[in-house]
Amino acid sequence: MRNFLLARLLQAGLVAIVVGALCFVLMRVLPGDAAMRIAAGRYGPDARIAEAAEKVRLELGLDRPLAAQFLEWLGSLLRLDLGHSLVTGSPVVHELKVQLGASVWLAASALALSLLIGPVIGLFSGLKAGGAIDRLGLAGAAIFRAIPPFVLGLMLMLVFSKQLGWLPPAGFGSPREMLLPALTLALGLAAMSSRVMRNSVAAVAKAPYFAFARYKGLPESVVVLRHGLRNAAIPVVSYTGLQAVYLVEGVVVVESLFAYPGIGHALVHAVVERDIPMVQGTALLMGLMFVVIATIVDLLTQWLDPRVRRTA
Query: Cα–Cα distances in Å, from 77 out to 20, 73, 119, 139?
Result: 7, 6, 40, 46
Nearest of 115, 114, 123, 121 to residue 225 by alpha carbon: 123
Q: Of the ranges 34-42, 67-75, 90-98, 250-258, which one interacts with other proteins (CB under 8 A)?
A: 250-258
Contact call for residue 110 and other proteins (CB under 8 A): no
Q: Is 192 in the site for other proteins (CB under 8 A)?
A: yes
Concatenating the DSSP letter of every residue in 126-143 gives: HHTTTSHHHHHHHHHHHH
Task: State in angstroms the smallest separation of the CB of 35 from other proteins.
Answer: 20
Q: Does 92 bind other proteins (CB under 8 A)?
A: no
In Å, how far are 126, 183, 198, 202 from 131, measured between CA atoms? Answer: 9, 27, 12, 12
- Is the Cβ of residue 19 or residue 205 nearer to other proteins in the bound state? 19
Of 38, 127, 236, 276, the residue at the interface with other proteins (CB under 8 A) is: 276
Nearer Cβ to other proteins (62/268): 268
Give the three-class secondary structure for 5.
helix
Site track 194-213 with other proteins (rule: CB under 8 A), x = hit:
-xx--x--------------
Q: Cβ closer to other proteins: 73 or 224?
A: 73
Of the two residues 82 and 279, which places its CB atom closer to other proteins in the complex?
279
* Cα distances (angstroms) measured from residue 295 to each of 78, 175, 178: 20, 27, 25
Q: Is 127 in the site for other proteins (CB under 8 A)?
A: no
Q: Which of 53, 100, 267, 297 binds other proteins (CB under 8 A)?
A: 267
Kindly identify the residues of this chain, within the stretch 1-20, that bind other proteins according to CB under 8 A: 11, 14-15, 17-19
Choice between 228 and 250, CB closer to other proteins = 250
Residue 245 near other proteins by CB under 8 A: yes
Q: Would you give the distance in Å from CA 258 to the centre of its chain?
A: 16
Question: What DSSP state is assigned to residue 91?
Answer: B
Burial class (CB in 10 A: 0-12, 13-18, 19+), 4: middle
3-class DSSP state of 86: coil
Binding mask 161-190 for other proteins (x = CB under 8 A): -x----------------------------
> CA 114, CA 165: separation in Å to the nearest integer?
24
CA distance 246 to 186: 10
Among 99, 290, 295, 301, contact with other proteins (rule: CB under 8 A): 290
Residue 120 CA to residue 201 CA, distance in Å, equals: 11
Return the residue of 62, 74, 271, 300 that touches other proteins, per CB under 8 A: 271
Binding site for other proteins (CB under 8 A): 11, 14-15, 17-19, 22-23, 26, 29, 138, 141-143, 145-151, 154-155, 158, 162, 192, 195-196, 199, 242, 244-246, 248-249, 252-253, 256-257, 267-268, 270-272, 274, 276, 279, 283, 286-287, 290-291
